[in-house]
Amino acid sequence: MKFGLFNLMSIRDNPNGVAGVIDDTRIMIRLAEEIGFDVAWFAEHHFTNYSVSPSPLMMAAHFAALTHRIKVGAAVVVLPLYHPMRVAQEIAMVDQLSGGRLVLGVGSGYQAYEFDRLGADVARKTDIFLEYWDIVEQALTTGRAEFQGEFITIPPSVFALRPQQTPLPPLYLTSLDPRVLAKLVPLGAVPFVTAGWRGSPALPAMHAHAQANWAKAGFGDRPMPFGVQQYIHVTDSASEALEAAERARFVARMVAALRHPNLDLAGAHLDAPPLENEPGLDVFRDNLIIGDAPYVAERLIAEIRALNPVHYNCFFQFGDMPIQRAARSLERFGAEVIPLVEAALGPLDQLAAKSLAPAFS
């Protein structure tokens, strides 16, 4: 099992604006590389302060040049929002630029506001995804593409760019539709989920849902690799824990609002309304992994034992959290939490690999 660092790059109250968010991300990724994290992941979102990362591949290329070991990941390329011929070349180029350090997450998206403004149909997102993936897969694995479908037609084409990693960079998948799983799992794709603000209490049901769709896709006799993402904040302060919970609530409100095509914006700034039946901050805090180092380690150990993930992605700087607190939390995670987890479970890189080796060897 490997740890990842998720970078949503929201902008809320950063004193230096967009440039400050980018600088904060540089600090976090360099620190994650020093600690030994496996992947730095970058989101894709458009048109609002929910995220200033419109292109995870652009971010991955930039940070590949600033790092040496850590992999750079797209979490995720929202495939229905791209022309597949273009994005296939960009995927290959980033893998070449990074020296084979690209990790490719793909998904079908969910934000109606984005889809409407990029001319895509959110109601047909999975059908579009499947056609576009056929083209991307052809291009990356064979260097050629030709396709005639409902949404797009591609004449016979040859590509000069191919990824350094063959046949593809490691694949992660946020769509759990059985049709998508059936197409991408044979390529090694790992189902990857986040429970958002609902956190640990929601993950068992999400794992069960993924397992059911895994079986529907025809893989019921094979162990399912699984990736999870959680909000994490390491602090000894009860007041800072609630402040972190408030930052998570900010993100949760935006996620809910962005599912609708019409938003009440001040320029590009979204001040999202409260969630329906929104709980108190103590519920956000308790759902997420927020607390002192022994508590965070205890929660992680229980989750890893229950879900056996092959990848555990950590979201530290959520809601544009001040960089001093986010970086301190990450430092403590490396110095105090990871040793406790390994003392309880053994070397992390041996955990999920042992159970999955017979199925994927």
Q: What is the pLDDT of residue 359?
A: 40
> pLDDT digits over 37-89, tens only?
999 999 999 999 999 999 999 999 999 999 999 999 999 999 999 999 999 99
Report the percentage of the chain scoring pLDDT > 90: 94
pLDDT tens digits for range 286-304: 999 999 999 999 999 999 9
Q: What is the mean pLDDT of residues 220-229?
A: 95
State the pLDDT at residue 352.
Answer: 57
Residue found under tokens 């020296």: 99
Is the pLDDT at 354 greater than 60? The verdict is: no
Q: Which two tokens stand for residue 259?
A: 């599912």
Asked whether 179 and 126 are in contact (CB, 8 A), the reply is yes
Question: Which amino acid, one-letter code, is at 176?
Answer: L
Percent residues over pLDDT 70 in the chain: 97
Whether the Cβ atoms of residue 253 and residue 273 lie closer than 8 Å to each other: yes
Question: In the predicted model, what is the mean pLDDT of residues 82-106?
Answer: 98
For residues 261 and 228, the model is more confident at 228
Residue corresponding to tokens 């037609």: 153
Domains located in the chain, CATH noted: 2-360 (3.20.20.30)
Predicted confidence band at 262 (pLDDT cuts at 50, 70, 90)? confident
Mean per-residue pLDDT, 125-140: 98
Asked if residue 357 has pLDDT above 90, the reply is: no
Q: Looking at residues 91-96, what average pLDDT do you find?
A: 98
In sequence order, the 6+-apart residues with CB closer than 8 A to the CB of 360 are 188, 222, 225
Predicted confidence at residue 355, as pLDDT, reads 46
The answer, yes or no, to whether residue 361 has pLDDT greater than 80, is no
The whole-angstrom separation of Cα 343 and Cα 293 is 14
pLDDT of residue 284: 98
Lookup result for tokens 């191919």: 162
- Which tokens is 237 given? 């302060």
pLDDT tens digits, one per residue of 326-353: 999 999 999 999 999 999 999 988 875 5
**DSSP-H helix ranges across the chain:** 17-35, 56-66, 84-97, 112-117, 125-142, 178-184, 199-214, 238-257, 281-287, 293-307, 323-332, 338-345, 351-360
- Inform me whether the pLDDT recorded for 360 exceeds 50: no
What's the CA gap between 34 and 173, in Å, rounded? 27
Confidence of residue 182 (pLDDT cuts 50, 70, 90): very high
**Distance, CA of 246 to CA of 338 (rounded, Å):** 25
pTM: 0.96
